[in-house]
Each structure stands twice: as C-alpha cells, then as structure tokens.
Amino acid sequence: MAGNWKMYKTPAETRAFFEAFRPLVQAASPCEIVICPPFPDLPAAVESARGTRVLVGAQNLYWAKEGAFTGEVSGPMIHATGATHVIIGHSERRQYFGETDETVLKKTVAALDASLTPIVCVGERLEHRESGQTEAVLCEQCQKGIAGLEAQQFAKIVIAYEPVWAIGTGKTATPEMAAEAHRMIRAEMRRHFGEKAAGEVRILYGGSVKPDNVKSLMAQPEIDGVLVGGASLDAVSFARIVSFPS
Ligand code: PGA
C-alpha cells in the first residue's frame, strides 16, 4: 500500500502527518506500507517512521550516481536518507517532464543498483482506452520499460498500473477494468520472464483510490496493492486505506 504525496507537504507537515498516522496503523493489516514524500521531506519521514512498519520512498531519481546534472537526485543519495523505495515513470513525469519508456528502464536499473525497490508505473491515456488501444499501450510500456531487465532484477520490482484518466480525476477504474489491465500486464510479463516470475511480481492499482473503494479493488485477486495520491495526504484517510479489510 503506497502513498504518493506528489508536490505536497514540508518537513514540518511530514512530521505532523506521522504523529497522526503512527497510532492509527499499529493495528492495521500486515501489509507493507510505503510513503513517498517530496525529496526534502525524506529525512523527516524516515526519522518519523523509525520503529514502525512504514517504509519511505522517493518519487523519482536520476540514473547517474553523481555528476554535473543540476537539479537531479541519484539513487545512492536517496538510499543514504534511509528511504527504501522509489516511484519511477509516474504518468505526471511522463506527461510534464519528458519521461519515456527508455528513461524508465535506465532509472529502474539505477534504483536497483542503489538497493532501492522501484515502483514502476505504466498506464494508458483516455484516448487510448477509447480507441481500444489499452492493451497495445500497456504492452509497449512493459516491453520498452521493463522487459529489458534481467530476471533477477525483475524479481525485485513492483509494478503500478495507473490509468492516466483515473489519476486525480475522481474517476476510478472499476475493479473489473483494473483487474483486466493487470491481467494484460501480467501476461506480457509472462512472455518475457516466464510463469513463475510473472506470477510473483506485485502489481498495484493507482488512480483515485479512496477509503470507500479500496475494499472492492483489493477484492480482485489480480490487484496486489494500491498506489494512492490525494487520499494518502490525510493520515486518517490513508490509515483507513491501509487497514481496508477491517
Ligand atoms: P490519485 O493519484 O490517487 O490522487 O488519483 C494516484 C497517483 O497519481 O499515484
């Protein structure tokens, strides 16, 4: 269960979130919880999450370890903060910052080299879905962005299916639509990495996940977890999501 804070919250607001969130998740289901705040909040998040089941991730990285790349942050730098995960290829990065399947692959390899767990995002836009191209788009993103990994690298990644039309719009894919897309992604992974590895990779659903719809999404056997944007900013709402079975 991953929270993507996008460009929200300062370090002080991060600490306040954890103050409220910590007591709420103690009794939560034994799922893995990852919160991905903006870069400047990583130290505050790691410190606040210490001693809890909550892990911390970044939202992006650059593939070089260091160098003259003004404004960029590397995998080893993220790892040094105590963060364990990193989101890669989020649709907002693809849409506004020129991220491509090729850069997604490079960043995924860099994350693994830095001992970070990459959460690699794929997803179709509304025009793709409306013109019946969903499967073709997802397969292409998987082929170019993920299939280039070695088998032992693939075993360490998490995939997030995030239909672009459902992000921040309040339009959730129905559980059946999400499950169908997860099956497409898993089938494509099977072609590249075989039955066992494709069966084991975790695929999260993301796009307007809320406390009220998490249960029906998680009831789909194809959906292994969720990547939550807006509803992860509020401690009570994200706690309700991570403790969805109760
Ligand atoms: P949302 O964002 O939950 O606000 O739709 C999801 C995401 O972009 O990861």
Q: Helix/strand/coil (H, E, C) string of 167-180?
A: CCCCCCCCHHHHHH
CB 93 within 8 A of CB 99: yes
Interatomic CA distance for residues 74 and 69, integer angstroms: 10
Q: Count CB atoms within 10 A of the CB of residue 246.
A: 8
Among residues 79, 90, 128, 182, the one annotated as catalytic is 90
pLDDT score, position 185: 98
Lowest mean pLDDT among 23-27, 80-84, 145-149: 23-27
Q: With 90 as the cut, is the pLDDT of residue 172 above it?
A: no
Interatomic CA distance for residues 202 and 124, integer angstroms: 19
Q: With 90 as the cut, is the pLDDT of residue 39 above it?
A: yes
Q: With 90 as the cut, is the pLDDT of residue 169 above it?
A: no
Interatomic CA distance for residues 175 and 222, integer angstroms: 10
Tokens 């879905």 locate to 129
195 is catalytic: no
Q: Determine if ligand 1 sits within 6 Å of the CB of residue 211.
A: no
- Closest atom of ligand 1 to 232 CA is 3
**Nearest residue CA, atom 3 of ligand 1?**
229
CA 65–ligand 1 middle distance (angstroms): 29
Residue 206: strand, helix, or coil: strand
Mean pLDDT (whole number) for 44-68: 97
- Model confidence at 89, pLDDT cuts 50, 70, 90, reads very high
Mean pLDDT (whole number) for 36-45: 98
**Nearest residue CA, atom 6 of ligand 1?**
229
CA angle, 196 then 198 then 204, to 5°: 135
CB 30 within 8 A of CB 242: no
At 178-227, the pLDDT tens digits run 999 999 999 999 999 999 999 999 999 999 999 999 999 999 999 999 99
- Model confidence at 28, pLDDT cuts 50, 70, 90, reads low
pLDDT score, position 103: 98
Q: What is the pTM of this model?
A: 0.97
Q: Measuring CA to CA, how many Å separate 212 from each of 24, 156, 162, 208, 237? A: 17, 30, 18, 10, 10
